[in-house]
Structure 1
Amino acid sequence: MHAATTRARLAAQCTRALGTHASAAPAWRPSSALDEWVQRHARPISLRQLTFFGRTLTEARLLASANYCRLELPTRLAHRLRDIQTLPYVVVANPHLAHVYESYLRAFERFRRVPAVRSLDDNARYCALLEHTLAEHAAVIPRLAIGVLEVRGLVTPEATDRFMTTMLRSRISRRVIAEQHLALTATFHSPCHGPHAPLRHDQEAVGEIFLRCNAREIVHACAKTTQDLITRAYGPDVQLPQIKLYGHLEAAFPYIPSHLEYMIGELLRNSIQAVVEQRTSQHADPPPIEVLICETAQHVILRISDQGGGVPNELLPYLWSFSKGPRRETRLQNLARVPTLLGKPQEPPVPEPAAHLSSELHQKLGTRSQHGDASAHHGSLSSLTSRAPHLRLGIGLPMSRLYAEYWAGSLEIHSLEGYGTDAFLQISKLGNKNERLTTRASMDAI
């Protein structure tokens, strides 16, 4: 009893000494449940597996999907919680990182207690829990980005970037799993699904996966969105560069459209904005942005070339870093202005799908819920692709690379200062590569 009283008194003294900072620190508490779940291994998936599993959807398969999510989500959350616990305490005491830790811990405790999903009613309750958690975690990425910028100097930039890469890659994976199950559930309950529904051989999508993403359509859609945003930001008189497409314009492949829109949108945004801001003569037309689409047996490659002056040499070494490089204060200010960025698209304000999809692609995607191919559930990146051009966050390129590498693709930037930039986005065309995950073993080996 005396020892407990002494510990309580010391804790109170520490709280008074630390003042308001004490409330920011996460509540470290032993958890045998966390130790147990950390011992489990994530079961990676591929686009092809998701497609084959959801193409013929039965009640048994829907319940199997729910139980996969039920076990996989707390497993992946447990690994990320352990990653945070291994950081220096002074780092995790940062209020933004502490908020992320607490929100992950709440989600982990919530998910690990979900019993086996044995009926459609069980699945309905589980889907409501998924929706609630997706909304609750809307502010995770900006908080992570602000947190790692604020603790710069307390850990090495290399360690910070490894931490961010692991956290964001895992977040992508969890949202893919959760949103795919929500979409399959909406498909199963749609009027056009069931034993009496007519057989359809022109299925466009399976859950969140669009079976024939056309690179040309995505480029057109993203270009239109970016041009509209820049026109609103710079005024109606701004001269925008022409977007010229070449190559294999009908190249198509299975992919998640929101991932493609984000990557291509970020690259086009950088190029268009660079050309607009680089112009020295108002009398000459701005140089065009050229997009070359190349299709091989296993990949689709997009090269986006601009004459926007290139990346300044002082920024070039930091293109792929979340924490290094200049302009730290500007990035912090901009991130603070979008507190719920990168969550679900309920953040401020979300454009209608037609605002960023070509009419043809919008017709295919927008009618999926009517035909029972997917839910009306939106992806998690709409608000990011619609942010104002002046909000330079410093995370667009490293996040785009993460999304490219997640499904075994790649992203490279080649810059010639004073002239322009070439971006090479390579996408795995077959959909047969497993998601790229970071395991505890690989983290412990670093």
Structure 2
Amino acid sequence: MAAKKASETFSKALVDEVQRWGEKKQTGVSLRYMMEFGAKPTHKNLLISSQFLHKELPIRIARRAIELESLPFGLSHKPAVLKVRDWYLDSFRDLRSFPEIKDSSDELAFTQMIKMIKVRHNNVVPAMALGVQQLKKDLNPKVATKDLQEIHQFLDRFYMSRIGIRMLIGQHVALHDPDPEPGVIGQINTKMSPMLVARNASEDARSICLREYGSAPEISIYGDPSFTFPYVPSHLHLMVFELVKNSLRAVQERFMNSDKDAPPIRIIVADGIEDVTIKISDEGGGIRRSGLPKIFTYLYSTAKNPLDEDLGVVDGVTMAGYGYGLPISRLYARYFGGDLQIISMEGYGTDAYLHLSRLGDSQEPLP
């Protein structure tokens, strides 16, 4: 089946409108703004929020849809990528055909619609991973890494934008919770304990390791259990889970057939004035220096590939994946002004430093 251009599947009017909206300026928001605005989710505030999203989301979605049409190496024509592009165009159309939001019943209907959009895009990451993989199969192995740089930069922009879109939708939807926990504003917990989130994420990663290998190294967590700061717990959980999972796999595979006990993974939570830093240290043998630049690319995973051609398999979390854990975790850290660094000692182990900005003032990085 020949790949269809958007102009063949969707009306010319829609494609033109996507172009028009893609040229508009995006408006970033900060964590602090989301907190202050969401602290009193009155009807008026929810109305303002939905009117903002009604304008903002089509701009962000149009920009991604346009980029999906013109990727290098024919990536745009891979079936999985076409599927993603269609999701973006469908969502753009849904948003643009929604009438002006004037009162609370409009606002509730709009909230239901963007909830559906968020669900429609649930599998974007595995679908894009599959597209990149379909591309890798066809590419001449001699294609230089710097040529692939373009794809890498596109994916960074694409996933960063996706984090922002999901955060805005998730935040708006969560403000409708009739009975939020104390200190919780939408998806933000103003009194989040990084120790607690790190513990939960570690236990989740450890149970996967147990399931996959039959045993798992211990994990020790150090820090002040009473320390809290405002952050999005689901983002932190995702990052720590990913980093701990990598460490568990490295240690497990290094000590599996050894008569020595596997050394524990150590997590240290430090609370600085500007940053909260979480360090995850393992003695899993480290990464070769020549391999370090590759760990943040989307075209690289040391693990065997869990992605089948069928997208249905992706819901089960596997121990090692399509090489997306690290680059996407770094984007989550950067989204609110933090960062992720990996320092390795080959022959010994790896330290991951997750820096989270605690000022809450940094604007979303808008690709």
TM-score after normalising by structure 1: 0.75
Residue in 2 that maps onto 1:430: 359
Letter in 2 for 1:182: V
CA, structure 1 residues 396+166, in 2 after alignment: closer, same or farther (shift >3 Å)?
A: same
Residue in 2 that maps onto 1:220: 199
Residue in 2 that maps onto 1:334: 307
Residue in 2 that maps onto 1:388: 318
CA, structure 1 residues 92+427, in 2 after alignment: closer, same or farther (shift >3 Å)?
A: same
Name the CA distance, whole Å, in 1 between partners of 2:91 and 2:267: 42
- Cα RMSD, aligned residues only: 2.3
Residue in 2 that maps onto 1:166: 157
State the SS of the aligned residue for 2:322: coil
Q: Which moved more, 1:41-50 or 1:309-318?
A: 309-318
1:126 and 2:55 correspond: no
Equivalent pair of 1:251/1:300 in contact (CA under 8 Å): no
Name the CA distance, whole Å, in 1 between partners of 2:58 and 2:357: 28
1:233 and 2:206 correspond: no
Residue in 1 that maps onto 2:51: 67
Q: CA deviation at 1:39?
A: 2.4
Letter in 2 for 1:127: T
String of CA shifts for 1:171-192, please: whole Å, max 9, x gaps.
111111111111112x3xx2x5
Letter in 2 for 1:166: R
State the SS of the aligned residue for 1:286: coil
Equivalent pair of 2:285/2:348 in contact (CA under 8 Å): yes
Residue in 1 that maps onto 2:229: 253
Residue in 1 that maps onto 2:340: 411
Name which of 72, 79, 100 aligns with 1:95: 79
CA, structure 1 residues 91+289, in 2 after alignment: closer, same or farther (shift >3 Å)?
A: closer
State the SS of the aligned residue for 2:250: helix
1:81 and 2:81 correspond: no
Equivalent pair of 1:414/1:422 in contact (CA under 8 Å): yes
Name the CA distance, whole Å, in 1 between partners of 2:329 and 2:309: 21
Runs of 5+ consecutive residues of structure 2 not aligned to the other structure: none
State the SS of the aligned residue for 2:41: coil
Name the CA distance, whole Å, in 2 between partners of 1:243 and 1:46: 33
1:107 and 2:86 correspond: no
Q: CA deviation at 1:60?
A: 0.7
Name the CA distance, whole Å, in 1 between partners of 2:233 and 2:326: 18
State the SS of the aligned residue for 1:315: helix
Residue in 2 that maps onto 1:288: 264
Q: Which has the larger radius of gyration?
A: 1
Equivalent pair of 2:263/2:283 in contact (CA under 8 Å): yes
CA, structure 1 residues 424+314, in 2 after alignment: closer, same or farther (shift >3 Å)?
A: same
String of CA shifts for 1:273-299, please: whole Å, max 9, x gaps.
211111166543221211122111111
Higher relative CO (Cα under 8 Å, sequence separation at least 6) belongs to 1
Name which of 313, 326, 334 aligns with 1:397: 326
Equivalent pair of 1:212/1:253 in contact (CA under 8 Å): yes
1:271 and 2:247 correspond: yes
Letter in 1 for 2:184: A
Equivalent pair of 2:31/2:361 in contact (CA under 8 Å): yes
CA, structure 1 residues 326+394, in 2 after alignment: closer, same or farther (shift >3 Å)?
A: closer
String of CA shifts for 1:12-68, please: whole Å, max 9, x gaps.
xxxxxxxx2x14554456433123212211110111101100111211111111111
Q: CA deviation at 1:317?
A: 2.5
Equivalent pair of 1:142/1:340 in contact (CA under 8 Å): no
Letter in 2 for 1:269: K
Q: CA deviation at 1:148?
A: 2.0
Q: CA deviation at 1:335?
A: 5.8
Runs of 5+ consecutive residues of structure 1 not aligned to the other structure: 1-19, 194-201, 342-346, 349-386, 439-446
String of CA shifts for 1:256-315, please: whole Å, max 9, x gaps.
111000000111111112111111665432212111221111110111111011124553
Residue in 2 that maps onto 1:377: none
Letter in 2 for 1:292: I
Letter in 1 for 2:198: V
Q: CA deviation at 1:326?
A: 6.5
Equivalent pair of 1:335/1:393 in contact (CA under 8 Å): no
Name the CA distance, whole Å, in 2 between partners of 1:428 and 1:106: 35
Equivalent pair of 1:142/1:339 in contact (CA under 8 Å): no
State the SS of the aligned residue for 2:267: strand
Name the CA distance, whole Å, in 2 between partners of 1:335 and 1:423: 30
Residue in 2 that maps onto 1:50: 34
String of CA shifts for 1:135-176, please: whole Å, max 9, x gaps.
222221111112123224488210000110111111111111
Name which of 105, 126, 148 aligns with 1:157: 148
